[in-house]
Amino acid sequence: MKSESLVSITDYSKEEILEVLESAKHFEENPNQKILEGKVVGTLFFEPSTRTRLSFETAVTRLGGRIIGFSDASTTSSTKGETLHDTIKMVSNYADLIIMRHYLDGAARYAAEVSDTPIINAGDGANQHPSQTLLDLYSIYKTQGTLEGLNITMVGDLKYGRTVHSLIMAMSHFNPTFHFVAPDELKIPDDYKKFCDSKGIKYFEHTEFSQDVINNADILYMTRVQRERFTDLMVYEKVKDVYVLKNSMLDDSKDNLRILHPLPRVNEIAYDVDANPKAYYFQQAKNGVYARQAIICKVLGIKI
Ligand code: CP
C-alpha cells in the first residue's frame, strides 16, 4: 500500500472510511501492538489541543512508535520568521509521518504538497478535522449499530465548526437527514448546503433548539461556540450561550439517542447531562485513540 496524506475527509471513499472503522474496532480489541517500532511521528500543533494531540500520541505510543514535535509553536523557530514551508521540509527530514494542526484554512493541504512524508490534518482553521470525523463515525456506528439513515442534529457553531464540516461530508455516504440548529450569526455556510443538495441529502435549518428537534434525533452533535474564530467579540458575546442542553430536555428523547461533542465544552452541555446514559462525549474521545491508530496505519500504508 502507498503512503498518502489525510487532509480532508473527502480524500477517503466510503469503502476506505469503512475500512478505517473496521481497523479501529481491531485496535479497540488489541490496543498495544508494536506495529510502529522504529518509526518517528512528528506532532506539530500551531493551535492548542488536548484530545487530538494526546490521543494521537497515545495511539503512536501504544503502537511502539516514537514522537517528536511541539504543542506550542511559540517555542519554535516560527517565532524567528521560519515559514510553514521550511518547518515542514525540516520535520519531514526527521519524521516518517507528520500530524499537524494549524489555525489557517488550507494549511494542511499546503503542508501535504511540500512535505516529503505523509501529513495527517489534525484540524486546519474552520475547514476540516478528518481524524475527528473518523472517530465520530466510529462512535456513531458503535452506538447506533449502523451509519445508514440516521437523524443527525448539529447544534451551535456551524459556521466555523470544522468538525461539523467534515462530518457532513463523511455522513453524505450514508443517507442521513440533517437538522442544523444555529443562530443566524453561526449558520451552516452555503457551500455545505450546496454540497447536501448535490448529494440529494435532506436537511432542515432551525434557530430554535426545540424539544421537537431533540426528540427526533438519533445523534445530537453539540458544539462549542469558538471564541478564537471571531473577529468581532461583541458578536461572540451575543451568541456564546445561545443553546444549553440540560438533562431535563432529554426526558422524551429516543432510547437510542446519543449526545456527541468533539469537546472541549464550555457552557453548551450542562454538567447534569454527564450522568445520563445518553451522554457519550467522553467515550467518544476515548474512541479517538483507536480511530487514530487505524488512521496512522492507513496513512503509512501498513496493512492490518
Ligand atoms: N476535539 C478536538 O479537536 O479537541 P482538542 O482541540 O482538545 O484537540
Same domain, 156 and 16: no
What is the rounded average pLDDT for all residues in the chain?
96
Would you say the pTM of this structure is higher than 0.85?
yes
Which tens digits make up the pLDDT trace of 174-189?
999 999 999 999 999 9
Distance 262 CA to ligand 1 centre (A): 7
Instruction: Provide residues with CB under 6 Å of ligand 1.
Output: 49-52, 123, 132, 262-264
Domain that holds residue 190: 130-285
d(CA 59, CA 290): 7
Q: Kindly state the average pLDDT of the residues 100-123.
A: 97
Number of Cβ within a 10 Å radius of residue 200 = 8
How far does CA 266 lie from the centroid of its chain?
17
Q: Kindly state the average pLDDT of the residues 241-266.
A: 97
Ligand 1 atom closest to 55 (CA):
8
Same domain, 136 and 93: no
Same domain, 151 and 98: no
Residue ID of nearest Cα to ligand 1 atom 4: 51
Known active-site residue 129: yes
Examine the pLDDT at 291 and tell me if it is beyond 90.
yes
CATH code for the domain of 189 = 3.40.50.1370
Helices (H), 77-189: 84-94, 107-114, 130-144, 162-171
Examine the pLDDT at 141 and tell me if it is beyond 80.
yes
Q: Does residue 199 contact residue 191 with C-beta atoms inside 8 Å?
A: no
Same domain, 113 and 147: no
Same domain, 109 and 206: no
Give which of 188, 136, 190 is closest to 163, Cα–Cα: 136
Same domain, 184 and 55: no
Distance 44 CA to ligand 1 centre (A): 14
pLDDT number for residue 2: 53
Side-by-side strand order, sheet with 177-181: 202-206, 177-181, 151-155, 219-222, 258-260
Ligand 1 atom closest to 122 (CA):
3
Choose, from 101, 165, 224, 258, the residue flagged as catalytic: 101
Examine the pLDDT at 1 and tell me if it is beyond 50.
no
Same domain, 184 and 95: no
Total structural domains within the chain: 2
Same domain, 41 and 156: no
Distance 157 CA to ligand 1 centre (A): 15
Residue ID of nearest Cα to ligand 1 atom 1: 262
- Which residues contact residue 75 at a Cβ distance below 8 angstroms, ignoring those fewer than 6 apart? none
Which tens digits make up the pLDDT trace of 149-169?
999 999 999 999 999 999 999
pLDDT number for residue 3: 64
Known active-site residue 101: yes
Distance 200 CA to ligand 1 centre (A): 31
Known active-site residue 52: yes
Write the DSSP string, 39-51.
Answer: -EEEEEESS--SH
Choose, from 43, 52, 87, 143, the residue flagged as catalytic: 52
Which tens digits make up the pLDDT trace of 195-224?
999 999 999 999 999 999 999 999 999 999
Which tens digits make up the pLDDT trace of 4-37?
999 999 999 999 999 999 999 999 999 999 999 9
304 within some domain = no
Distances in whole angstroms, Cα of residue 241 to Cα of each of 162, 203, 205, 227, 281: 19, 24, 19, 11, 19
Same domain, 100 and 159: no
Choose, from 39, 129, 162, 179, the residue flagged as catalytic: 129
pLDDT number for residue 304: 86
Residue ID of nearest Cα to ligand 1 atom 3: 52
Same domain, 94 and 187: no
Same domain, 33 and 117: yes
Q: Does residue 297 contact residue 19 with C-beta atoms inside 8 Å?
A: no
Residue ID of nearest Cα to ligand 1 atom 6: 49
28 within some domain = yes
pLDDT number for residue 226: 87
Distance 252 CA to ligand 1 centre (A): 30
114 within some domain = yes
Known active-site residue 80: yes
Known active-site residue 286: no
Same domain, 84 and 230: no
180 within some domain = yes
Angle, in degrees to the nearest 10, between helices 84-94 and 107-114:
50
